[in-house]
Structures are given as structure tokens and as C-alpha cells.
């Protein structure tokens, strides 16, 4: 019935793929930001556990990738957001980049708080106003 894929072997992955297919762009952005915040929170909670550096590096790179994608999208000429909002979000993304690099260079769990808060608040806003312009 189903092609032989990794999705067939893992029903949860199949469900997630179908769920994502039905999500709007804003819902996907909110979900990605939430996942990024959760990865960082997990690093904080497990700060003293073995393997912290690898998990922290993975979580920071995940956040960096997300914000790089946002930067690219916000820089596109055809992005429909108002100019001032785009500029504010680009400024925020530059701040997040700086915090990520600071945390990579000098890790501390407290440095993750601001990234977690920003990701969580933007995700909440995207969920609260799914059809508005950020």
C-alpha cells in the first residue's frame, strides 16, 4: 500500500509529515521556533550532563539556521511585510546571531534565556495572529 520509505517504518514521522503538510507558513514558523527554544531549554536543564557541548552546538546551530532563513526571507524584494517591521526583525536576527556566537565562544546556560524568550514570544505571536502581518 505504501512505498517502502523511512516514513512507513515510523508512524510518528508519517503523522508529523502529514501534519506539516496541512500547516500554514506561520504555523510552521511558530513550530520551528518552538522546537528551537525547546532544544535550548533542554541544554539548560542538562547543562552538567555528559555530551553537553555537542548538544549545545547542535541546538545553537539549529537556531542559527532558522534565523539565517528568516534573514534571507526578510531580505527578499518580494517579502510582503512592512519595511519597518522587516528592518526590526533583521535587527533582532543580528542580535540573535551575536548571542549565538557569544554562547559558542563562552558557554553559559544563562546566555540561552534571551534566545529562548525571543523564539517563544515570536512563536506565540505567530500562533495568536496567524493571518496578520507579523
- In angstroms, rounded to a whole number, what is the distance separating the alpha carbons of residues 11 and 23? 19
Q: Which of 76-80, 95-99, 117-121, 127-131 has the lowest mean pLDDT?
A: 127-131
Q: Give the three cell numbers for residue 108.
A: 553559559
Q: What is the DSSP letter of 1?
A: -
H-helix segments, 10-82: 11-21, 25-45, 52-75
Residue 8 in this model has a pLDDT that exceeds 50: no
- In angstroms, rounded to a whole number, what is the distance separating the alpha carbons of residues 92 and 105? 20
Q: Work out the number of other CB atoms within 10 angstroms of the CB of residue 120.
A: 18
Q: Which of 13-22, 31-40, 63-72, 84-93 has the lowest mean pLDDT?
A: 13-22
Kindly give, in sequence order, each residue whose CB lies less than 8 Å from that of residue 78, ignoring residues fewer than 6 positions away.
Answer: none
Residue 75 in this model has a pLDDT that exceeds 80: yes
Instruction: Compute the average pLDDT of residues 33-61.
Output: 96
pLDDT in tens, 111-134: 999 999 999 999 999 888 655 554
Instruction: Compute the average pLDDT of residues 93-99.
Output: 97
Q: Work out the number of other CB atoms within 10 angstroms of the CB of residue 1.
A: 3
pLDDT above 90 as % of the chain: 69
CATH superfamily of 8-128: Flagellar protein FliS (1.20.120.340)
Q: pTM (2 decimals)?
A: 0.78
Alpha-carbon distances, residue 52 vs 37, 85, 126 (angstroms): 16, 36, 31
What pLDDT does residue 10 have? 55
List the chain domain ranges.
8-128
Amino acid at each position: 500500500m505504501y512505498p517502502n520509505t523511512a516514513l512507513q517504518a515510523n508512524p510518528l514521522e508519517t503523522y508529523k509529515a502529514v501534519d506539516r503538510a496541512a500547516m500554514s507558513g506561520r504555523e510552521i514558523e511558530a513550530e520551528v521556533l518552538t522546537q528551537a527554544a525547546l532544544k535550548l531549554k533542554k541544554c539548560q536543564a542538562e547543562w552538567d550532563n555528559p555530551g553537553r557541548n555537542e548538544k549545545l552546538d547542535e541546538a545553537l546551530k539549529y537556531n542559527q539556521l532558522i534565523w539565517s532563513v528568516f534573514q534571507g526571507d526578510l531580505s527578499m524584494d518580494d517579502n510582503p511585510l512592512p519595511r519597518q517591521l522587516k528592518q526590526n526583525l533583521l535587527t533582532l536576527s543580528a542580535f540573535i546571531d551575536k548571542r549565538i556566537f557569544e554562547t559558542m565562544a563562552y558557554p553559559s546556560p544563562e546566555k540561552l534565556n534571551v534566545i529562548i524568550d525571543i523564539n517563544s514570544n515570536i512563536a506565540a505571536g505567530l500562533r495568536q495572529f496567524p493571518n496578520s502581518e507579523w
